Amino acid sequence: MESKNEIIVSDLLKIEYDFIEYYVGMAKMVVYWHVKALGFKVIAYAGPETGVEDRCSYYIVKNDIKLVITSASQPSSYKIVSFVDLHGNGIKRMAISVDNVKEFFGRAMKNGAIPIKHPHLTSDDMGFVEQASLKMFDDNEIVLINYDNYNGDFLPGYKNVEKEWDFEYKDSALEKIDHVACALRLNEITLWENYFNNIFLSKTVLEFDERQESGKKIGMLLKVLQSENKSINNVLVEPEHGVNTQVQLFIDQNYGTGIQHIAFESNNIFKSVQALRENGVKFTKYPDSYYDKLEKKHPQLDVDILRKHGVLCDVVDGALLFQIFTVPIGDRATFFYEIVQRVNDYDGFGLDNIYALFDAMEQELKLKREY
């Protein structure tokens, strides 16, 4: 009996990010931006033409990064319309690939997960997909998914449309999802920390407390939750009361909690940044003083290339983390992307660079308020 339990727990630990689904006002336009700006490829489409009446959804891929961009196909698609009206274009679902949806869901329920949809199958002539979903934050969901018995491009209801989206674009060299960062209200972080750790059997591996009460000025509390296999990294951030930070701005502009940014890993961040800039992507700028300090602290670094591309760098025992952040990709000051590269098995999250990020974003906010 003990060996059976060990096998079940072992299977539950075989998890990884699958797809991220956005709800947006006009899916085709957002898909076009991801194709032309970020180098994604459109694989499949689901909508009224394929028998899915309430939505238009595009499945787009860049190496191991899978996104679904969804908009309402008609006014009666109230779940999508109301989400976009309230939050603007934003992430609705975070899907996690698991070996056994039913067992994972059952264990999560015993550990306090809130169900949205119980395990169920969707099928077509290519086989079936097993899914379930759990509540996350104000209006988000965690999807548990398994494709072992499906041979289609993505999910039942989707048809291949690669030939219809055969565009030329510069390769952004983006490889996979590194982590997902979430903005929470004051006093929510412990609630969701326990919730996530209970569901994913993850652990809190880092804590970064920069609230006013500690005598520092960033005004935030950050925690990193990591799964046993290190494939799921969820970053939770909570603002400090009365401090005007980009975390509080997200909550205000998003009208609630949600996923603030997704980090994509690159094997060559300088190639990625150059291609993305040529594609029209804009990045947060950092003051020269950041690079001057970095050069003094780490004289062995090639700071000139970092300065040229606007990339941040954290150094820990010879291991490097390169980071850069886009400006918000929509009209609201909410969701943005991060690009990272990990060198020599760097496994941290660049906490020293948070100062530079927040200072830079605060300067941008100040300029917007003055404008």
Domains and CATH numbers, the chain: 13-165 (3.10.180.10), 174-370 (3.10.180.10)
What is the structure's pLDDT at 357? 62
Over range 252-271, report the average pLDDT. Answer: 96
Over range 334-351, report the average pLDDT. Answer: 88
What is the structure's pLDDT at 316? 85
Which of 49 and 364 is assigned the larger pLDDT? 49
What is the structure's pLDDT at 7? 42
Residues 81-127 have pLDDT tens digits of: 999 999 999 999 999 999 999 999 999 999 999 999 999 999 999 99
Over range 38-47, report the average pLDDT. Answer: 97
Q: Per mean pLDDT, which range of 79-93, 279-293, 298-312, 330-344 is the poorest? A: 279-293
Residue 206 has pLDDT above 70, yes or no: yes
What is the structure's pLDDT at 360? 60
Over range 25-33, report the average pLDDT. Answer: 96
Q: How confident is residue 212, by pLDDT bands cut at 50, 70 and 90? A: low
- Residue numbers in the known binding site are 179, 261, 338
Question: Buried (b) or exposed (e) across 3-31, using 16+ Cβ within 10 A?
Answer: eeeeebeeebbebebbbbbbbbbebeebb
Neighbouring residues of 269: CB distance < 8 A, sequence distance ≥ 6: 309, 311, 322, 324, 339, 340, 341
Residue 361 has pLDDT above 80, yes or no: no
Q: Which residues pair with 127 in a beta bridge?
A: 124, 150
Nearest to 18 by CA among 130, 113, 168: 130
Neighbouring residues of 34: CB distance < 8 A, sequence distance ≥ 6: 40, 60, 67, 69
What is the structure's pLDDT at 106? 96
Residues 177-197 have pLDDT tens digits of: 999 999 999 999 999 999 999
- Residue numbers in the known binding site for Fe cation are 179, 261, 338
In the chain, the percentage of residues whose pLDDT exceeds 90 is 72
| Strand bridging mode 140-146 / 16-23 | unpaired
Backbone angles phi, psi at 174, to 5 degrees: -85, 135
145, 101 contact by CB (below 8 A): yes
Over range 8-14, report the average pLDDT. Answer: 64
In the chain, the percentage of residues whose pLDDT exceeds 70 is 90
What is the structure's pLDDT at 220? 84
